[in-house]
Amino acid sequence: MVICKMLRTLCPMIGLLLSVLLGDVVRADEENDYYRMVSIAAPESQTESRDPNWKPSDDGIALEVSGIAVLSPSRLAVAIRKGEVWLLDGVDEVTGDDDSERVSYHRFATALHEPLGLLHHDDSLITVQRTEMTRLRDTTGDDVADEYETIASGWGVSGHYHEYAYGPKLDPDGNLWMTLNIGMGLKGEQLKQIVPDAPFGYRQAAWRGWAMKVTPHGTLQPVCAGMRSPSGLGANADGDMFYTDQQGNWVATNSLNHMRPGAFFHHPESLASMELEGSTIHDVAKVPNGIAYPEALKRFPQMQPPAVWFPYKKAGQSATDILLDSSGGGFGPFAGQLFVGEFTQASINRVFLEKVDGEYQGACFPFRRGFASAVLRMAQAEDGSVYVGLTNRGWSSLGTSPYGLQRLTWTGETPFEIQEMRAKPDGFELVFTRPVDVGSASDVQSYGMTSHTYLYQSSYGSDEVLKRHLNIRKAIVSEDRMRVQLKVDGLRELFVHELDAHGVLDANGKPLLHRKAFYTLNNLPQK
């Protein structure tokens, strides 16, 4: 690895060749040069996560983080899957793996039913349990919740294990958003809780697969549907709300979706609630099956495309939390962009969004690998650093721990990355974080591009279909060497356009830290 770095410095052309031959493998351990992680808690459990008699670490609490709220520079509130909320003090003092003993733990709340989110709002902590949204308040100042208030309830719960409930997240208007999993293969006593006489004979409890919000006046309102396992939700810089979904039946691969009233996304079993009072989705006559996604959208007018597809394994296998970088540069050159957690690969991906014809679309990029366990929750501190909550129980992930809490900090060094990828009528504009080498960046042989779509189908996931190699006929470097215009033939709407900028070097002859980008082109700009 050291030899590779020396050769790149001595000869940009050799560096280019190594980049093409070795790909992202060369850069996997270099992410740490720009974004360093420190473990606040990352113990080993006594059994594998899928063991039916799973046992946590015998040292301290089982910190299976399911929600994080930053209370001050030194204090976090952390929800855990066991059904508790803990206060952690001294977290800002942990600068190395040997400092974890500086953190103190104090239990704030208990007896919750699998809380899968945590929000600090006004003088309270708010979480979503399986059956209700709950406000936790300490009225006596002893750091123990003595008031558990039901903010909202009323969605169906059959008892199926997959009926997770996530949230809340706050929007600019003061609404508290939450999302609800679909139940999978309900049977027995569970069928007593399904919506009676549901459309298409779907068997789900009320509002499963929906996003809902609680207004500032306390009213619970259904917003949109079609969700399978929407474990991440959050707002972008403009205050619009998004959720992530995970590959499965009816969901081709992981996706990021813009939530708004009346939108339907993937999973038709959520239509079991279509005729309930308050539904925002109406008049679905037929659900197509086994056809390419662009054609499915024509036949299913209520269905909306994702803002971003995450190609399976290339950009994660199970998307989770959404974090807006609101640090204003304190977390590096990606202020205003979104970071998306990844469960199976124990990593974080990055998303750039833009609006074309009034709808969101954009690109996802690899960002940071190597967390100790599955990334489920993220929260940003005042200094821009990011707390990352981990838990993999019930499903496998990379990493050395089954659960824990880590902190990711920017070193102050700017990585050479594709900062933005914007759609143009005849191609794409790439914005870089550092000036490019004109020779390599203007050479069309430095790039490769393909496009593909997916099948909309009831079976699990989808392969990439209708794949095509695209011709990049010109690469034009801007005067400041921070942008490159790619002129591309054969762009297709509603297709993912996969870019491999394998040959692009910066002004010092160094390759990109991550050379891949995946742009979901829903609408082609007209000018």
The yes-or-no verdict on residue 85 having pLDDT over 50 is: yes
Q: Residues 180, 208: contact at Cβ < 8 Å? A: yes
Which residue type is seen at 482? Answer: M
Beta strands 516-521 and 176-180 are unpaired
Domain with CATH 2.60.40.1220 in the chain: 418-521
User: 15: which 2 tokens?
Assistant: 């560096």
Mean pLDDT of 415-442: 98
Poorest-pLDDT segment among 18-32, 42-56, 420-434: 18-32
Which residue type is seen at 507? Answer: A
The yes-or-no verdict on residue 22 having pLDDT over 70 is: no
Query: How far is it, in rounded angstroms, from Cα 205 to Cα 329?
Result: 44
The yes-or-no verdict on residue 281 having pLDDT over 50 is: yes
Query: How far is it, in rounded angstroms, from Cα 338 to Cα 365?
Result: 11
Q: Give me the pLDDT at residue 490, please.
A: 97
The yes-or-no verdict on residue 16 having pLDDT over 90 is: no
Q: Give me the pLDDT at residue 15, please.
A: 39
Poorest-pLDDT segment among 27-36, 116-125, 365-374: 27-36
Can you give 125-193 as a three-state secondary structure string?
A: EEEECCCEEEEEECCCCCCCCCEEEEEEECCCCCCCCCCCEEEEEECCCCCEEEEECCCCCCCHHHHHH
Mean pLDDT of 385-389: 98
The yes-or-no verdict on residue 262 having pLDDT over 80 is: yes
Query: How far is it, in rounded angstroms, from Cα 132 to Cα 115?
Result: 10
User: 166: which 2 tokens?
Assistant: 């996530």
Q: Give me the pLDDT at residue 29, please.
A: 61
pLDDT in tens, 191-223: 999 999 999 999 999 999 999 999 999 999 999
Q: Residue 296: in which H helix or E strand, if any?
A: helix 293-299
Mean pLDDT of 503-511: 97
Would the CA dihedral through 511, 512, 516, 519 be positive or negative? negative
User: 244: which 2 tokens?
Assistant: 């992530």
Query: How far is it, in rounded angstroms, from Cα 461 to Cα 269?
Result: 16
Domain with CATH 2.120.10.30 in the chain: 37-44+60-410
Q: Give me the pLDDT at residue 285, please.
A: 94
Mean pLDDT of 348-373: 97
CATH class in words for 37-44+60-410 = mainly beta
Q: Give me the pLDDT at residue 354, please.
A: 98
Q: Residue 7: in which H helix or E strand, if any?
A: helix 2-10
Query: How far is it, in rounded angstroms, from Cα 293 to Cα 308?
Result: 14
Percent of the chain's residues with pLDDT above 70: 94
Q: Give me the pLDDT at residue 304, please.
A: 97
User: 342: which 2 tokens?
Assistant: 């990844």
CA 368, chain centre distance (Å): 13
The yes-or-no verdict on residue 17 having pLDDT over 80 is: no
Mean pLDDT of 368-393: 97
Q: Residue 9: in which H helix or E strand, if any?
A: helix 2-10
Long-range contacts of 327-332 (CB under 8 A, 24+ apart): 327/380, 327/383, 327/384, 328/384, 329/384, 330/383, 330/384, 330/385, 330/410, 331/380, 331/384, 331/385, 331/386, 331/410, 332/34, 332/35, 332/410, 332/414, 332/415
Question: Sorting pLDDT into bands at 50, 70 and 90, what band is 278?
Answer: very high
Question: Sorting pLDDT into bands at 50, 70 and 90, what band is 312?
Answer: very high
For the chain, the average pLDDT equals 93
The yes-or-no verdict on residue 367 having pLDDT over 50 is: yes
User: 506: which 2 tokens?
Assistant: 């910066």
Query: How far is it, in rounded angstroms, from Cα 480 to Cα 483?
Result: 8
The yes-or-no verdict on residue 137 having pLDDT over 70 is: yes
Query: How far is it, in rounded angstroms, from Cα 177 to Cα 233?
Result: 8
Q: Give me the pLDDT at residue 167, please.
A: 97
User: 312: which 2 tokens?
Assistant: 């399976």
Query: Helix, strand, coil % (nearest 5) of the chain?
Result: 15, 40, 45
Q: Is pLDDT larger for residue 20 or for residue 53?
A: 53
Mean pLDDT of 509-526: 97
Q: CA torsion, points 503, 420, 294, 305, in degrees to nearest 10?
A: 150
Query: How far is it, in rounded angstroms, from Cα 225 to Cα 206?
Result: 12
Which residue type is seen at 407? Answer: R
Query: Could you tell me which CATH number the domain at 418-521 has?
Result: 2.60.40.1220
Phi, psi of 316 (to 5 degrees): 100, 165
Q: How far apart are the first and last CA of the chain?
A: 45
Q: Which DSSP letter does residue 97 get?
A: G
Q: Is pLDDT larger for residue 350 or for residue 50?
A: 350
